[in-house]
Amino acid sequence: MSALYIQALTNNAMKRILFSILLAGPSLLFGQGSQVNTQGIKALGMSGAGSALFVDESSIFYNPGALSKMEGNAVSVGGSAVMYRSAFRETGSADTYHTKFQISPPFSLFTTFGPKESWWKAGLGVYTPFGGAVDWGTEWPGRYELNSLQLRAIYIQPTLSFKLTDQFSVGGGFVYNIGLVDLSRSLPVFFADGSPGQAQLSGTGTGMGFNLGAHYHLDNEVAISLSYRSKVVTKLKDGDAKFTVPTSVAASFPNTTFDAELPLPASFNLGISFPLSPKVDIAVDGTFIGYDVYKSLDFDYKDNTPVLQDTHQPKKYENAFSGKIGINYKTGDHLALRAGGGYVYTPVNGPYVSPETPDNNRIMGSAGFTYNISDKWDITGAYVFQRIQARTVTSATSGLRGAYKTNIHAPGLSLTYKW
pLDDT, mean over the chain: 87
Residue 11's pLDDT band (cuts 50, 70, 90): very low
The answer, yes or no, to whether residue 90 has pLDDT greater than 50, is yes
Stretch 35-60: mean pLDDT? 90
CA–CA gap between residue 274 and residue 220 (Å, rounded): 8
Residue 5: per-residue pLDDT: 37
Where residue 392 sits, what CATH number does that domain have?
A: 2.40.160.60
pLDDT tens for residues 223-247?
999 999 999 998 989 999 999 999 9
Residue 2's pLDDT band (cuts 50, 70, 90): very low
Angstrom CA distances, 316 to 21, 347, 358, stand at 18, 9, 15
What percentage of the chain exceeds 70 in pLDDT? 90
Residue 405 bridge partners (DSSP) = 87
The domain in which residue 77 lies consists of 3-418
The answer, yes or no, to whether residue 306 has pLDDT greater than 80, is yes
Residue 219: per-residue pLDDT: 82
CA–CA gap between residue 177 and residue 45 (Å, rounded): 26
CA–CA gap between residue 365 and residue 200 (Å, rounded): 36
Contact 250, 9 (CB under 8 A): no
Residue 372: per-residue pLDDT: 96
Contact 387, 363 (CB under 8 A): yes
pLDDT tens for residues 144-202?
888 998 888 899 999 999 999 999 999 999 999 999 888 898 999 999 999 999 999 89
The answer, yes or no, to whether residue 98 has pLDDT greater than 90, is yes
The answer, yes or no, to whether residue 346 has pLDDT greater than 90, is no
The answer, yes or no, to whether residue 331 has pLDDT greater than 90, is yes
Residue 284's pLDDT band (cuts 50, 70, 90): very high
Lowest-pLDDT range, 25-34, 70-79, 333-342? 25-34
* Pairing mode, strands 335-344 and 148-163: unpaired
Stretch 252-256: mean pLDDT? 92
The answer, yes or no, to whether residue 17 has pLDDT greater than 50, is no
Residue 36: per-residue pLDDT: 62
CA–CA gap between residue 336 and residue 312 (Å, rounded): 51
Residue 300's pLDDT band (cuts 50, 70, 90): confident
The answer, yes or no, to whether residue 19 has pLDDT greater than 80, is no
Type and span of the H or E element at 26: none
What percentage of the chain exceeds 90 in pLDDT? 62
Domain count, the chain: 1
